[in-house]
Every structure is written in structure tokens, then in C-alpha cells.
């Protein structure tokens, strides 16, 4: 009888442990896939990035895992290329370049730089680490985005508005005339969705294209053959090999460009069909991941 009770006790204990282990499964923070949906990893992504001319990292602006991987990829590409790298980002507007240069060269303090620059609200947690890495290692860091005042005006008045600006103002965006292919699915979708004319913003697709053309322009202006360039932008600015990618390839078809995108899914154990093909590498994080803002 006592032996039976011991066997019963150990059997229940094993069942309890098995049930407990099934109840508390691992919760991975991210998975990486290639564009065809096959599984990949950070090492494969970093190796491909290190061999590219230009890396377009399309982020979700408030995703902490994406921002952490941006920094880790920057470090990996830097180390793989003998401390050789150029870094740029949508998060800085082109007319702030002088402040970046002054800070990077030690002419102004961190306090002055952060006070006077138009920094995004998640700068300190998400972008400062990359800028500080560039500063520490004396790397070129450039602003690529068009000043928002111009993009806002284009959204209301169309691209013809830009012709009226001074030659000084025109230094801060792509050279005119800016070609826009509204047949590209990304722009066509924006155009289709802009049916509400209440606020008079009829040219959002054109404003988006202006930003993409401008980011491409400054990427090419800072690109040096033999030195990899990594650029951070919202995923919608490079997804599906459109937008920035399209402008870059139009200017120089020979460029080797690797695109990375960050997206969210309820279940990250496999890449959803709708997310296939959006980039060379796709970082998937859970939809309930905490956000930086």
C-alpha cells in the first residue's frame, strides 16, 4: 500500500511538472524571416548587410525590439567592415545637419544639441544610442528627411509649390523636378485613400514621394563606394522595394541594396502570407510588445 502511494505521488508530481511546463512556454521577442517566408536569424541578416552598398532599415517607430536590433546591426556592420560605415536617418531633417555636424565635432554640447534640434520624442531611448555610437567612433552621420514645413505645403498645394522657393530653400530637398510614379502600389494606395478633402490635403502621395526622393538624394550624396551606408526610416518608406529603394535604383541600378522591415503579428512562429516579399529580411515582433511611446 505504501509503495502504491509513493508511485501515485511521483506520477502526480510528474504530471504537474509537465502541465506546468506546457503552461509557461517560451515567449520569443522576435523572429527574422527572408522575403520568401523562410526562417532566418540575426547572423544571416548581418552578413548580408555587411556585404551591401546600402542598407535600408525600415522600422516601426515605437517598437523597442526594432530599435535595439538597429543598434546591434550598426555595430555588427561596423565591425565587419574594419570600422568603416556611414549612418543616416529619416529622424533628422536636412536643415538640422549643421547641428549634427557641430555636435559630432565637439563644437556644441550634448545639452545644446538636444535643446536646439527638432528631435523625435523617443530620441533618447531609440536614436541617441546610434548617434552616440557614431560620435564615439568618428563616423559620418547625416540627416536625410525633408523639413516638414515643405512636405506639409506639398500635401496641400502639390509639388509645383516647390518651384516658388528660393535657391537656398531648395538645398534641403531633392533636386527639381521630382519625378513621382503614382502607379507604384504604395503611392496608389495613398492616393486612393485620400477621399476626404475637408482639410485640403489632396497631395499626400506627392508629399510622401517628395520625402522618399529627398532621402534617396541625401543617401546618394553621402554614399562612398566601398563604404557601407545604413539608413533608418519608417518601414513604409522602403517596404515592397518601392519608395526610397525605387529612387535609389533609378539613380544607380548597380547599387547593391539590402532592405529590412519590421512588422508585428499575433503569432510570430511563421511569417504571415501578407508580409511575404516586403523586404529582404523581415523582423517580426508580437503585436502586444510594449511600445516606446
**Structural domain includes residue 24:** no
pLDDT of 83: 83
pLDDT of residue 82: 87
Q: What's the pLDDT at 201? A: 77
The number of domains in the chain is 1
Q: Which comes out higher in pLDDT, residue 44 or 1? A: 44
Distance CA 61, CA 50 (A): 23
Q: Which cell goes with 270?
A: 511563421
Residues 6+ positions from 95 with CB-CB distance below 8 Å: 143, 147, 172
Report the pLDDT value the prediction gives residue 196, as an integer from 0 to 100: 58
* Residue 6 pLDDT class (50, 70, 90 cuts): low
Q: Which residues face 232 on adjacent strands?
A: 57, 89
How does pLDDT run across 129-177, given as a tens digit for each residue?
999 999 999 999 999 999 999 999 999 999 999 999 999 999 999 999 9
Q: Check pLDDT > 80 for residue 230.
A: yes
What burial class does residue 17 get, using C-beta atoms within 10 Å of its C-beta: 0-12 exposed, 13-18 middle, 19+ buried?
Answer: exposed
Per-residue pLDDT at 20 exceeds 70: no
Q: Is residue 94 part of a domain?
A: yes
Contact 61, 122 (CB under 8 A): yes
**Domain assignment present for 79:** yes
For residue 18, being part of any structural domain is answered with no
| Average pLDDT of the segment spanning 105-114 | 96
Domain that holds residue 256: 30-286
Q: Are 97 and 214 in contact (CB under 8 A)?
A: no
Residue 82 gets the label, from left (phi > 0), alpha (psi -120 to 50) or beta, of left
pTM for this one?
0.90
Q: Is the pLDDT of residue 275 over 70?
A: yes
Q: Which pLDDT belongs to residue 116?
A: 94
State yes or no: pLDDT of 17 exceeds 60.
no
Instruction: Report DSSP state, residue 158.
Output: -
Q: Does residue 235 belong to any structural domain of this protein?
A: yes
* pLDDT reading at 15 higher than 90: no
Which residues fall within 8 angstroms of residue 203, CB to CB, at 6 or more apart?
A: 154, 155, 156, 157, 158, 159
What pLDDT score was predicted for residue 195? 65
Q: Give the domain CATH number at 232.
A: 3.40.50.11550
Please check whether residue 82 lies inside any domain of the structure.
Answer: yes
- Asked whether the predicted pLDDT for residue 22 surpasses 60, the reply is no
Q: Is 293 among the domain residues?
A: no
When pLDDT is cut at 50, 70 and 90, the band that residue 193 belongs to is: confident
Arithmetic mean of pLDDT, 250-277: 97
Is residue 21 in a domain?
no
Residue 23 predicted with pLDDT over 90:
no
Other C-beta atoms within 10 Å of 32: how many?
Answer: 19
pLDDT at 12: 54
Mean pLDDT in residue range 66-94? 96
Candidates 255, 171, 278, 267; CA nearest to 214 is 171
Give which of 73, 76, 89, 120 is closest to 232, Cα–Cα.
89
Amino acid at each position: 500500500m505504501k509503495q502504491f502511494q509513493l508511485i501515485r505521488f511521483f506520477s502526480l508530481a510528474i504530471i504537474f511538472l509537465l502541465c506546468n511546463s506546457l503552461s509557461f512556454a517560451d515567449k520569443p521577442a522576435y523572429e527574422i524571416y527572408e522575403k520568401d517566408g523562410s526562417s532566418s536569424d540575426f547572423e544571416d541578416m548581418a552578413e548580408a548587410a555587411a556585404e551591401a552598398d546600402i542598407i535600408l532599415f525600415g522600422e516601426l517607430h515605437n517598437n523597442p525590439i526594432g530599435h535595439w536590433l538597429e543598434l546591434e546591426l550598426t555595430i555588427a556592420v561596423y565591425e565587419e567592415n574594419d570600422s568603416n560605415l556611414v549612418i543616416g536617418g529619416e529622424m533628422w531633417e536636412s536643415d538640422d545637419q549643421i547641428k549634427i555636424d557641430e555636435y559630432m565635432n565637439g563644437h556644441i554640447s550634448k545639452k545644446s544639441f538636444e535643446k536646439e534640434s527638432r528631435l523625435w520624442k523617443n530620441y533618447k531611448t531609440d536614436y541617441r544610442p546610434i548617434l552616440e555610437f557614431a560620435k564615439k567612433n568618428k563616423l559620418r552621420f547625416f540627416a536625410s528627411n525633408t523639413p516638414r514645413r515643405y512636405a506639409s505645403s506639398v500635401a496641400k498645394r502639390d509639388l509645383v509649390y516647390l518651384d516658388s522657393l528660393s535657391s537656398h530653400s531648395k538645398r534641403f530637398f531633392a533636386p527639381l523636378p521630382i519625378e513621382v510614379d503614382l502607379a507604384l502600389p504604395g503611392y496608389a494606395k495613398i492616393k486612393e485613400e485620400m477621399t476626404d478633402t475637408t482639410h485640403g490635403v489632396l497631395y499626400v502621395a506627392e508629399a510622401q514621394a517628395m520625402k522618399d526622393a529627398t532621402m534617396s538624394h541625401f543617401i546618394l550624396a553621402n554614399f562612398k563606394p566601398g563604404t557601407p551606408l545604413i539608413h533608418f526610416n519608417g518601414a513604409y518608406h522602403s517596404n515592397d522595394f518601392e519608395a526610397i529603394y525605387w529612387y535609389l535604383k533609378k539613380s544607380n541600378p548597380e547599387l547593391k541594396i539590402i532592405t529590412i522591415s519590421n512588422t508585428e503579428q499575433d503569432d510570430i512562429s511563421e511569417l504571415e502570407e501578407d508580409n511575404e516579399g516586403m523586404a529582404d529580411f523581415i523582423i517580426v515582433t508580437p503585436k502586444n510588445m510594449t511600445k516606446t511611446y
